[in-house]
Amino acid sequence: MIDAIKPAADDATALLKAMGVKDALWQSGDRPVHSPIDGARIGGVPDATADEIAAAVAASERAFAVWRTVPAPRRGELVRLLGQVLRVHKEALGRLVTLDCGKPLSEGSGEVQEVIDICDFAVGLSRQLYGLTIASERPGHRMMETWHPLGPVAIITAFNFPVAVWAWNAALALVCGNPVIWKPSEKTPLTALAVQALFERALADFGDAPAGLSSVLIGDGDVGAALVAHPAIRLISATGSTRMGRIVNEQAAQRFARVLLELGGNNASIVSPSADVDLALRASAFGFMGTAGQRCTSLRRLFVHRSIHDDFLARMRAAAASIAIGDPRDPAMLVGPLIDAGAAAAMDQALADARAAGATISGGDRIAGLGDGVYVRPAVVSHLAHTGPVLRETFAPILYVFAYDDLDDAISLQNSVDQGLSSSIFTADMREAELFVSAAGSDCGIANINIGTSGAEIGGAFGGEKETGGGRESGSDSWRAYMRRQTNTVNYSGALPLAQGVKFEI
Ligand code: NAD
């Protein structure tokens, strides 16, 4: 039984005030802000005008001229201070994330923890932006590779991670010497306004940072497109749908701007006969129902060995039928609302297509009594061919389950979609596990063993292949995307030998 919902707007005022967001920034604009929790209007934000976009980019260019010369470890100090401010406000910001995008409190708080973690990572990185020394073929010469700051970075983000994706980019970009301009999703502007206010506190603690190091431009795709087109923006890091990424990629290519694209996924897991079935079930249940199926890494397709398929399917249907769905501010709820009615319509369409193809479907129905929030029962779909709706990413809790006989066939089907973000295998068989992560295995950017597809750690490079866009963010050596590489050859001899032995005497 689900109780009526406490109005989301009541929470918003207190949270935004606590984090220092001025009322005018979110109460007086024309773009309505709705919380998916109850669908009610919380406030209104003003879209950035063309003049404001131009001013933000100009300020960013001026900031770059200063920031690029600040020693990287000192730049790291600003990010350390940001992490400190976020620690103080972790609970409030986590609640605001929940309010903005509807994910449960533990996930909202986990998202802020991820931001704190990437700040820590970036602080360490600020002392490790290593270049190379390269053997020169010429006597009395030294060759090296140096990494320099790139320039203003535009960060365009999706609704489902209202702050983590910004932080993956911003923390690294800032220690690498670049200012950032954030165009958050028009569906989750409040989190961005709060983060900017917290960033300004870190700036005040830091003392002498240039103005214009970070700004937020509210608006829809048009504001994003203006940044993509602006010649001063050197890197466009865009997270969202493949549709958006294709447009951004083509426009950026017109002026040879660098892009970092993190786009849609159509992720799969394989459950082999040797798997720990209880573990695989729990991981897959979180993978497909967690965040109401609205993660880029959400599990969408599951290949279960025929010998355990029927039992596994029955248990997954039971888990989906009984999962606690409701107000994400209630800690007992594991699944919150979809972001909006459009998401529910896309889910309905995918299920109608599956039904028309003769599939067996459980769940997928709407749950009433929760204000104007859109709450759905996660759907488990089976007994359909690997085609039609299975091939596209529907950003909702739908799991397509298939029986397989041969592992090579399962891997081949897993890889047969246009996207290549996350994948996993559940197995106790070492040969199966090694095959899965080998060159002949999964073609995704993320390939896990005995872990689900969703819930990445910040230490690894995050991103995917094919229509997922090819970008890598967060850990490992992803920082290189935010810097320009320079090759330096130094001649400390009195002679001038030319490379490759070329003669040119004058
Ligand atoms: P979306 O594509 O609708 O919007 C994403 C962002 O792009 C928004 O800020 C939007 O305003 C902006 N935008 C739209 N058109 C634009 C244009 N022409 N130029 C510049 N900016 C433009 O995506 P969404 O519905 O917010 O998010 C869901 C999608 O994001 C899913 O496909 C999901 O898989 C993907 N996603 C991917 C990752 C990843 O790391 N791979 C992470 C999170 C979400």
Whether 8-263+469-486 and 267-460 share one fold: the answer is: no
**55 CA from centroid of ligand 1 (Å):** 24
307-333 burial code (b ≥16 CB/10 A, e <16): ebbeebbebbbebbeebebbbbbeeeb
Q: How many angstroms separate the CA atoms of 57 and 53, rounded?
A: 6
Q: Tell me the pLDDT tens digit for each residue of 43-89.
A: 999 999 999 999 999 999 999 999 999 999 999 999 999 999 999 99
The position carrying tokens 């590779």 is 145
Atom of ligand 1 nearest to the CA of 264: 34
Is the Cβ atom of 224 under 6 angstroms away from ligand 1? yes
pLDDT value of position 4: 62
Its sign, for the CA torsion 281, 451, 103, 465, is negative
**157 CA from centroid of ligand 1 (Å):** 6
**Superfamily (CATH H level) for 8-263+469-486:** Aldehyde Dehydrogenase; Chain A, domain 1 (3.40.605.10)
Is the Cβ atom of 229 under 6 angstroms away from ligand 1? no
**239 CA from centroid of ligand 1 (Å):** 5
Q: What ipTM was predicted for this assembly?
A: 0.98
Please list the ranges in the chain whose pLDDT falls under 50.
Answer: 1-2
Pick the catalytic residue from 77, 262, 432, 473.
262
Atom of ligand 1 nearest to the CA of 219: 11
Q: In the chain, where are the structural domains located?
A: 8-263+469-486, 267-460
pLDDT value of position 1: 37
**φ, ψ for residue 43 (rounded to 5)?**
-170, -165
Instruction: Decide if 473 is catalytic.
Output: no
Rounded to a whole number of angstroms, the distance between the first and last alpha carbons of the chain is 91
Is the Cβ atom of 241 under 6 angstroms away from ligand 1? yes
pLDDT value of position 50: 98
| 3-class SS letters over 134-165 | ECCCCCCEEEEEEEEECCCEEEECCCCCCCHH
Is the Cβ atom of 339 under 6 angstroms away from ligand 1? no
DSSP state, residue 482: G
**240 CA from centroid of ligand 1 (Å):** 2
Centre a 10 Å sphere on the Cβ of residue 440 and count the other Cβ atoms it contains.
10
Best of 241, 298, 474 to mutate for ligand 1, by most ligand atoms within 8 A of CB? Answer: 241
Is the Cβ atom of 157 under 6 angstroms away from ligand 1? yes
Q: Choose which CATH entry (3.80.10.10, 3.50.30.10, 3.40.50.300, 3.40.309.10) describes domain 267-460.
A: 3.40.309.10
**Nearest CA-CA partner of 109 in 101, 122, 97, 125:** 97
**Nearest CA-CA partner of 391 in 440, 422, 350, 424:** 350
Q: Tell me the pLDDT tens digit for each residue of 200-223.
A: 999 999 999 999 999 999 999 999
One-character DSSP codes across 377-434: --EEEES--S-GGGGS--SSSEEEEEEES-HHHHHHHHTTSSEESEEEEE-S-HHHHH
Best of 223, 239, 291, 446 to mutate for ligand 1, by most ligand atoms within 8 A of CB? Answer: 239
- 291: its two tokens: 């965040």
